[in-house]
Amino acid sequence: MQTDSSFTFVLFGGTGDLSMRKILPALFEAHRAGGMLADSGKIVAVARHAANRGEYLQWVNEHVKPHVSKNGVDEAAWTSFLARIEFVKIDLGNPEDFVQLRDAIQDLPGIRVFYLATGPSLFVPICHALASVGLNENARIVLEKPLGYDLKSSNAINDAVGEIFAEEQIYRIDHYLGKEPVQNLLALRFGNALFEPLWRREWVESIQITIAEELGVEARGDFYDNTGALRDMVQNHLLQLLSIVAMEPPHSMDSDSVRDEKLRVLRALKPIDPNEIGKVAVRGQYHAGGIRGSAVPGYATEAGVKPDSTTETFVALKVEIENWRWAGVPFFLRTGKRLADRVAEIVVNFRAVPHSALGASALRAGANRLVIRLQPNETIRLYCLAKQPGEGMNLASVHLDLAFDKFFREGQMEAYQRLLLDVIRGRLALFVRRDEQEAAWRWVEPILNEWKTSTKPPKPYAAGTWGPAAASAMLAQHGTCWLEEEN
């Protein structure tokens, strides 16, 4: 893939955790691949924890280099990558410092991209400071989550940013939309006649979407205790994945066509009745337990967490979509920390055959299913029943692997790499539009409000398990269960 598009990529929060683990490694991989980034493109890191460019490059060598390239670092590529990097030391709280930034980049070529890898409280001040020195014109700005605490605060941020940048200049990033299996889900659905006739209520019994983590809150206890799993994962990642799974075929893959269809799904979500939240939503909080043979503490004893905290670390939801395609099909969403495994996957359970001449095993739920795994290993598997060798008609589950790494020699592109390239090239399809974000906040708000005022604490679950028993009981009422045995 070749590009002649020059760029100046300004990275706010240049010494932050996200820059260290994701953004700079992704830019290096694009640089190392050759041809993905214009030779004249520059990366300008903005931070206050380094004195000058030399000190910043030393920080990059020490902290970023260990996170790049699973197959080792090409030293020549690394050296040439460092040559792209400039550094500007400014205090983000001082608008006058942005004059230094303007002077540093005014002669650099190409489109300007401002990536705000900072806390959301700095989004609006940074945008105002950029505008004060004229850097908002003909530029693109990337906003990381969380974008607000609820619908009101999200709208306040969007209103303020929208006064400075036009909607087509704003890239609200959700890295799950850049994952290879999510892209392949679009290809699977809209590039093949095989699945589209089955992708509807007549043939789909239920759909599960899971994002499970083994990690706890780590060093983010104070942040997480004021956020919780519903805000941190459901409002963005899980509802975005749901909209991709359930959307109608767009007339093209241009940005607004794709996002229009996602928006229709979000607006078709069945509103949550506050009186029914206990039946369709489970919240939990992990207690002490074990992960892979090691003891781990409970959430309430983590650093930065209030001992009497009622913040949820686990959420399971039953969601319905009120449209012609999906009426009556339950979508089950689940996310949590300190669970039994690190996995993100989408499971499409097809209905059993209406009558079986081959015995009861052909009628069991989940005999036919499609499993799209996003992490840790990215695969797509189609499960069906086949006859076991030997006497009699005994059926067993088998699967077909869509092993893309065996068909395509080039390695898969990491999510951040794809999304950063899309920003540089002006492609908005994989970024969240404001009306999508508003629809998602509007849908989760009744749950947020109910849990905020509830006197019932989150349901406890031991670290290293799959969450509260109530989450499994919710699915059992619909004759199904969570898929937890895949490799």
How far is residue 178's CA from residue 169's CA, in Å, rounded to a whole number? 19
Structure tokens, 127: 């945008």
Is the bond leading into 376 cis (omega within 30 degrees of zero)?
yes
Q: Quick check: 200 and 347 in contact, CB under 8 A?
A: no
**Residue with token string 């805000």:** 231
Is the bond leading into 330 cis (omega within 30 degrees of zero)?
no
How far is residue 479's CA from residue 19's CA, in Å, rounded to a whole number? 44
Q: Which of 324, 328, 325, 280 is nearest to 443 (CA)?
A: 280
Three-class secondary structure of residue 416 per DSSP: helix
Task: Give backbone dihedrals phi and psi of 460, rounded to 5 degrees, phi first.
Answer: -75, 150
Distance, first Cα to last Cα, the chain:
33
Q: Give catalytic status of residue 478 as yes or no.
A: no
Number of helices followed by number of strands (H, E) in the chain: 17, 17
**Tally of CB atoms within 10 A around 258:** 22
Q: Quick check: 314 and 282 in contact, CB under 8 A?
A: yes
Query: Of 49, 63, 128, 237, which one is the catalytic site residue?
Result: 237
How far is residue 123's CA from residue 72's CA, in Å, rounded to a whole number? 35
Could you tell me if residue 486 is left (phi over 0), alpha (psi between -120 and 50 degrees) or otherwise beta? beta
What letter does residue 252 receive in the DSSP assignment?
S
Q: In this structure, is the dihedral angle defined by the CA atoms of residues 362, 364, 370 and 375, taken in order, positive or negative?
A: negative
Q: Cβ neighbours of residue 89 under 8 Å, at least 6 residues apart?
A: 46, 47, 48, 50, 51, 52
Three-class secondary structure of residue 33 per DSSP: helix
How far is residue 88's CA from residue 99's CA, in Å, rounded to a whole number? 11
How far is residue 394's CA from residue 362's CA, in Å, rounded to a whole number? 10
Q: Write out the catalytic residue numbers.
A: 237
